[in-house]
Structure 1
Amino acid sequence: MSAVPDRRDAALPNAPRSSPALGDGLLYAALALLVLLAWAISRRGYFKAGDDVGYWLGVAGGLMMLTLFTYPLRKHFRFMHRLGKVKWWLVAHMVLGIAGPLLILVHSTFHIGSLNAGVALWSMVIVALSGVVGRFIYMRVNRGLHGEQTTLRELQVRAGLDQSETRSRLHFAPAVEARLLAFEERELKAPPRWSTYLRQVLVLRWQRWHAYRQCLSELHRAIDRVAHKRQWDATERARRERQARKLVDRYLANVVRVAQFTAYERVFALWHVAHVPFVYLLILSAAFHVFAVHAY
């Protein structure tokens, strides 16, 4: 086996081809723009919450939010399992979860007219923001919109972390290999507690970047030694170092992916526990608000 990674040594599975960070950034930017647009419309004075236009905007937003409950019902009632694919139900759930609260915000003209309306409005805001957080976590626990749960074992196989082949490709740089082994040992065998999960969700990618930067300097020195010994020219040396860097980067990325799977799964369970009470509060306050509007 070659002491330095060559083109034929690309058996280590790739890191995820597309990072969800870009999609998340675009989504959050779009949400911010929509909220600003809703605020701008409410400032124009085209309607008030109590007139016909404001009333029907509230009705439309309320119906959209009521329709959101068809998604969890679809998962719990067997007769609904045949009604379309889960991914389309999830897409509809996300769209309605954005459009409904936006219409309610426009309906309210960003003003709170009563205590009950305030409770309903803030419950809706919390539920909507919680839904955005839930979507962020869900997309990291599941594969896209297909609802197929990724198992830790599958990720390990795809990353090649259950084989020693990757490490042997880096035996020309023992310091790099030791650092990678230490990183894997620390993250994949970390104590199963909440401090570990929160650290892996919040700062593990930064720690991975720090480990990668440390590996680069050590890798550079190791490549220099091999290049001098084998009398490589500058082009060959640069090519070999580029391949070795890519190998280290993919290895670290896949360790992070495997470690974060369990962390996001635990955080998602905690999110669900926190999300449900606010949903119930929203239902009760919204129902009382509707009753008060029509009764008085």
Structure 2
Amino acid sequence: MSVPAARLGAPPARSEPGLVPAATPGRRPARRRRAASTWLFALAVLVALGFGYDSPTERYLTPESGAGYALGIIGGSLMLLLLLYPARKRLPWLGFIGTTRRWFQAHMIFGIVGPICVLYHANFSLGATNSNVALACMLVVAGSGLFGRYFYARIHHGLYGRKATLVELNEHAERLRLVTPTVAFLPELMARLQIEERQVLAVRSDVRSALIAPARAAWRVFRARRRLRRYVHVALGTAARSSGTAAAQRVPLKRTTYAYVDTRLAAAQRIAELQGFERLFSLWHVLHLPLFFIMLVAGVVHVVAVHVY
């Protein structure tokens, strides 16, 4: 067997990307904390929505007065504060209010907490026509924001990182290709993997193909992963029946090979889908901003109608 032991189980040397590229030790706790806080926030949102929808909130909250009225004011104010993020991003003199990154975080939080407050204000039910229009616009904008968050994360290095470029993604994929584990028990692995990568990267440059590139790349990677894992499983099983060495190292070798294959395919998928997500994000921007201003107009009309008539 010609794979060095360091490439099977031990962490890779610092000079090469290794079989499973990972974040540096200093970044792992920060990423874990961000992931944990995101999941906790998502759980809190689901609990709040589930409780409000399933409970008779009209017994305790009324839109016209008290806490119900206050929730409407808070929710509407949070939706107005969403304007501070694009303002901070485009107007350098607003630096005194905080960094763009912090306002981006606040933008996402306000865009979720604000609609929840308004839903409690409305008792999770429909009312007059003007309030229904305002509520519908707000929910459409909130849902649109979730799509935008996903598109943004796919073309940046994480949610708060800098924008990814095709050049650096190609360089990352090339560094992965330099790690070529020639395992005697898997003689066809690299050839099969290269064929699958070429199929994932076969993306046309026209607009229609670019828009569906993310879905197409995800589907191709899913199928490629299944085919390669099936090959690894069968090949190692065959080798284990005829070799004691293969039998002894079958489990760690399978785990490491799976991780390497997944990493290579993920790098190819990122390259294939980048242009598509950039176009989708641009189209999302074109739609999201008008929807947001329509929501503001509907909200103002609702407030005026409630207090005047």
Does TM-score exceed 0.5, indicating one fold? yes
1:142 to 156, 164, 171: 156
Q: Does 1:87 align with 2:86?
A: no
- CA RMSD of the aligned region, Å? 3.4
What is the deviation of 1:197? Answer: 4.3
What is the deviation of 1:239? Answer: 4.2
What is aligned with 2:6?
7
Letter in structure 2 aligned against 1:97: G
Name which structure has the greater RCO, CA cutoff 8 Å, separation 6+: 1
What is aligned with 1:131?
145
Q: Secondary structure at the match of 2:78?
A: helix
1:183 to 183, 186, 196: 196
2:111 to 82, 89, 97: 97
Q: Secondary structure at the match of 2:125?
A: coil
Q: Does 1:289 align with 2:302?
A: yes
2:222 to 209, 219, 222: 209
What is aligned with 2:283?
270
What is the deviation of 1:76? Answer: 1.2
Question: Please, which moves more after superposition, 169-178 or 63-72?
Answer: 169-178
Per-residue Cα deviation, 1:125-177 (whole angstroms, up to 9, x for no partner) = 10011112212222222233434112222223233x26753457469856433
Hey, what's the Cα distance between the residues in 2 that align with 1:206 and 1:137?
18
Per-residue Cα deviation, 1:94-133 (whole angstroms, up to 9, x for no partner) = 1111111111111111233322211111000100111122
Letter in structure 2 aligned against 1:176: L
What is the deviation of 1:214? Answer: 1.6
Unpaired segments of 5 or more residues in structure 1?
none
Unpaired segments of 5 or more residues in structure 2?
24-30
1:1-296 aligned within 5 A: 3-4=2-3, 6-8=5-7, 10=12, 11-13=16-18, 14=20, 28-40=42-54, 43-81=57-95, 83-159=97-173, 161=174, 165-167=178-180, 169=182, 173=186, 175-193=188-206, 195-197=208-210, 199-202=212-215, 204-220=217-233, 232=245, 234-296=247-309
Hey, what's the Cα distance between the residues in 2 that align with 1:147 and 1:237?
38
What is the deviation of 1:63? Answer: 0.9
Hey, what's the Cα distance between the residues in 2 that align with 1:119 and 1:239?
58
What is the deviation of 1:16? Answer: 6.1
Letter in structure 2 aligned against 1:117: S
Q: Is the 8 A contact 1:120 1:285 kept in 2?
A: yes
Q: Secondary structure at the match of 1:244?
A: helix
Q: Secondary structure at the match of 1:143?
A: coil
Hey, what's the Cα distance between the residues in 1 that align with 2:291 and 2:144?
9
Q: 1:58 to 1:44 in 2, by over 3 A?
A: closer
Q: Is the 8 A contact 2:7 2:181 kept in 1?
A: no
Hey, what's the Cα distance between the residues in 2 that align with 1:187 and 1:175?
19
